[in-house]
Amino acid sequence: MNHAQLRAFHAVASEGGFTRAAQQLHVTQPTLSGQVKALEARYGVRLFDRRGRRVAPTELGRELLDLTRRLFSLEAEAEHLLSAAKGLTRGSLRVGADAPYHVTAALAAFTGRYPGIRVSLTVGNSVELAHALLDHHLDVAVLADPAGDPRYFARPLRRDRMVAFVPKTHPLARRRRLDLADIAGLRLVLREQGSTTRRIFETAVARRGLALAEVLDMNSREAVREAVAAGLGIGVVSESEFGSDPRLAAVELMGEDLAMTEYAVCLAERKDLRLVKTFFDLLEPQIGNRTQRSKR
């Protein structure tokens, strides 16, 4: 069986299209398309339904994708095993986070201790990061709410309450606490659908029987921050994400259901890989700090 053809199929099925798959594999789109067509022709099968520029795996394609996920997971494990045999002097570690400051201290410690390991950081929302782990695009991620999925191994890092934030000149900036009813009827600036912060906030609003008046969708925390600073609405983030900005003021949101827990997550089948275990160990002080805070 041709390994390159299988790799091409896996990339297209995982990415949902030839363009992104070609970018991921650093090959041209015609080359990638030719490899997939050759695989289909060799076995006389159809692996994708092609709908213009979009493609979707057929039933056979979905079954093959389950196999290639396991295949390339084992390939990655073999690479990690061989890297571990050299004392972590070579290899790569792909880290994801829903906010970079959750992992920067651990990344700095890791690169200082293992300078031969290539480290990359991907930032996205929790849904995107969970999918990237499942598709073996990431080795470990820090994200909110893995929802008890048995495919993932998760360790809790920290629990944060949510806060609203406004420009310091806003009338609400003088308040110490806000109820959801205080802001539900105002224009809000929130992360895109798929953000755990947004899901928790909207669930709490619905549970209270409130209706949101207007929501501006933003695809990054930086965009939310700049929109709020410009006076476009009221933002909502976890307390640790707010950070420090002289233009803005954070106000506590009341309600026991307005809190989120961040987890260090990897695929359950990969939790014993040395690179992954080592990075989890470097996150351990955060886990310990979270445990101490929860006892107060």
SS3 letters for 138-174?
CCEEEEECCCCCCCEEEEEEEEEEEEEEEECCCHHHH
In a domain, 146, yes or no: no
Residue 234 backbone dihedrals phi, psi, to 5 degrees: -100, 130
Are 144 and 98 a contacting pair, CB within 8 Å? yes
In a domain, 202, yes or no: yes
Final residue of a structural domain among 30, 46, 70: 70
Give the count of beta carbons closer than 10 Å to the beta carbon of residue 64: 20
Distances from the Cα of 250 to the Cα of 18, 157, 167, 174, 221, angstroms: 44, 23, 9, 10, 15
How would you label 36-48 residue by residue, b for 16+ Cβ within 10 Å and e otherwise? beebbeeeeeebb
Final residue of a structural domain among 22, 42, 70: 70
CATH value at residue 244:
3.40.190.290
In a domain, 101, yes or no: no
In sequence order, the 6+-apart residues with CB closer than 8 A to the CB of 215 are 187, 188, 189, 190
Tokens 């795996």, located at residue: 57
What is the predicted pLDDT for the residue at 45? 94
Residue 103 backbone dihedrals phi, psi, to 5 degrees: -125, -5
Terminal Cα distance for the chain, rounded: 58
Residue pLDDT, tens place only, 5-17: 999 999 999 888 8
In a domain, 87, yes or no: no
In a domain, 283, yes or no: no
In a domain, 196, yes or no: yes
Please state the rounded mean pLDDT for residues 58-65.
93
Final residue of a structural domain among 70, 88, 110: 70
d(CA 30, CA 220): 33
- Decide if pLDDT at 79 tops 80: no
Q: How many domains does the chain have?
A: 2
Residue pLDDT, tens place only, 96-143: 998 787 788 888 988 998 888 889 999 888 888 988 998 889 999 998
d(CA 95, CA 72): 18
What is the span of the domain harbouring residue 213?
Answer: 158-260
What is the predicted pLDDT for the residue at 128? 87
- Decide if pLDDT at 41 tops 90: yes
- Of 183 and 87, the structure prediction assigns the larger pLDDT to 183
